[in-house]
A and B are shown apart, each in its own frame.
Chain A
Amino acid sequence: MSLAVAAKTDASTAPAILAATGLSARYGHIHALHGVDLQIGEGELVAVLGPNGAGKSTLLRAIMGLSANDGEVRFRGEALPRRDPVAVASRGIVLVPEGRGLFSPMSVSDNLELGAYRLGDKAEFKRRRERVLALFPRLKERLGQVAGSMSGGEQQMLAIGRALMAGPKLLLLDEPSLGLAPRVTEEILETLGLLNREGLAIVLVEQKAPLALELANRVYLLSLGRIVAELDPRDITSHDDLARHYFA
């Protein structure tokens, strides 16, 4: 097993920031993930695509230690605790969950502050906050507003902004485009692309494949809880190509 992992690491250009081996997870008695192996390189933007119910959210939750899971996840070579999302988050892995998980009755400003809960340094806090507000200028106008009262797009921006306040080393995003207008989705994905070019490693789970393919360095296709293909997005030239892989 470890040999196979090493071989794969050599195959990708960057050293792995995250490596999962034999990751399985279940919800109650339903197995939603079956022995998934995957690698995320330093600075990589990896898209995980797949139909509804493929286990994409479960995969991200299993990495965070949120769902009952087996297998091993290594972060920069060190094994992550498996049932302790607080510990995983404090290592610098931040998940923007499905549905965003905002503290809706609290203000935008408070949400951002809580994203940096573990940060003690005031100057660094200010720096990060200014950076987030520069990335998402719309949040700047709404700092005092209750998070739940904003539009879906603004809420998604806040969720990503809050995640960035933690100063993540690896950012996991669960369908950030869900329910958003195409224009807003594009704006958000552009920002993610920018962050990635600055060196942030990102795992992007998406149903809207074309958008994710534009950004991704690499693509995993997930189906029925297994990785069925690992692709270079440049090889996928049409929707038919992708569909072929789904059903291969």
Chain B
Amino acid sequence: MADWSYIPQVLVSGLGIGCVYGLIGIGFCVIYNASGIVNFAQGAFVMLGGMITHMLFARNGVPLPLAAVIAIAAVALLGVAIERVVVRPLWNRKATMFVMILATLAAQIVIERLTLIAVGDQPKTLPVFTDRPPLMIGGVAIGFQLIWIVGGSIAIVGLLAAFFSLTKTGKAMRACSINREAAALQGIPVSRMLALAFALSAALGAFAGILITPTQYTAFNVGVPFAISGFIAAIVGGFGRPFGAFLGGLLLGLLQALAIVGFGAGLKNVAALSVLLLFLFIRPSGILGAAK
């Protein structure tokens, strides 16, 4: 039988991973809102964020903050490249959602395999950002990396909210998601907004990957599980609702952590997918209700 005295500790670590799922889920929403596309290459962005930072930092001696910034920028550029090379040609042909999902999944696999060839199959990691003993609060150990993850995620969510509600570009992206044709009629360059959405969610994914890598590891094949978790977060939150996706991510992270205590680590994905099925059966529009 599981030892339930660990619950608070487990919840704290679930919170950290939940934030990361939430960020990935937001990435799904940003692209979905701009285009109606579900981008399954999202996981590749997460993997590459951690991987590129590791390569720059561990192999080339670039300071960690700089390595992280370069990695985020590089992954954002890759996002734009995927939009141009894979998504736009299909979009212009009015490809169905099913085709888009397959095409982005294919892009994910290509990136994964190229990474395998380039850096091998050994897991890589990053040092924690602040190397100090964890804070003890009421018998619960709170590592500094967790504070980075939660703080960084909340900061990003706040910045995104400000971007979408205060800036003209952010409002224009929302306008495209509400009514793409009307947006075009205002002279809003809808296709550039799509490229921007890919850049933004790629950067988000990379940021999430960099935050989580010190507590776990990264390897060529971590992308798909992260993408699935982020996708579940987005569904649970109400697809197309960035804030909902973040809540969905938190919920998923906490439930997964509890499932690990209750049933063992082997069943963590069973728990996650059960949550997905449960929501699809009972509340397919998610916590906040789907955006469309």
Q: Which residues of A contact B (CB under 8 A)?
A: 64, 66, 85-86, 89-90, 94-95, 97, 101-106, 110, 113-115, 117-118, 162, 166
Contact = CB atoms under 8 A, between A and B. Distances in A.
A162 B186 CA distance: 8
A103 B185 contact: no
Interface stretch (B43-51, B187-195, B254-262): B187-195
B188 A86 contact: yes
Query: Max chain A CB contacts within 10 Å: which of B175, B179, B186?
Result: B186
A194 to B, nearest CB: 23
Nearest to B184: A85
A101 B179 contact: yes
Secondary structure of the B side of the interface? Answer: helix
Interface of B: 168, 171-172, 174-175, 178-179, 181-191
A117 B178 contact: no
Nearest to A111: B175
6 closest Cβ contacts across the A-B interface?
Answer: A101-B182, A89-B187, A85-B184, A90-B187, A118-B187, A103-B178
Most buried by A among B172, B182, B184, B188: B182
A66 B186 contact: no
Contact of A89 (B171, B174, B186): B186
Contacts of A114: 168, 171-172, 175, 183, 186, 188
Nearest to B191: A86
A102 B181 CA distance: 10
Contacts of B185: 64, 66, 85, 89, 94-95, 97, 101
A213 to B, nearest CB: 27
Contact of A103 (B168, B174, B189): B174
Given A101-B181, A103-B179, A86 B187 contact: yes
29 contacts: A64-B185, A66-B185, A85-B181, A86-B188, A86-B190, A86-B191, A89-B186, A89-B187, A94-B185, A97-B181, A97-B182, A97-B185, A101-B181, A101-B182, A101-B185, A103-B174, A103-B178, A103-B182, A106-B175, A114-B168, A114-B172, A114-B183, A115-B186, A117-B168, A117-B172, A117-B186, A117-B188, A118-B187, A166-B186
Given A89-B186, A162-B186, A110 B178 contact: no
A167 B257 CA distance: 56
Nearest to A105: B178
B223 to A, nearest CB: 33
Contacts of B189: 86
A106 B187 contact: no
Nearest to A162: B186
B182 A66 contact: no
A114 B165 CA distance: 12
Contacts of B183: 103, 114
A110 B190 CA distance: 17
Contacts of A115: 186
A85 B191 CA distance: 12
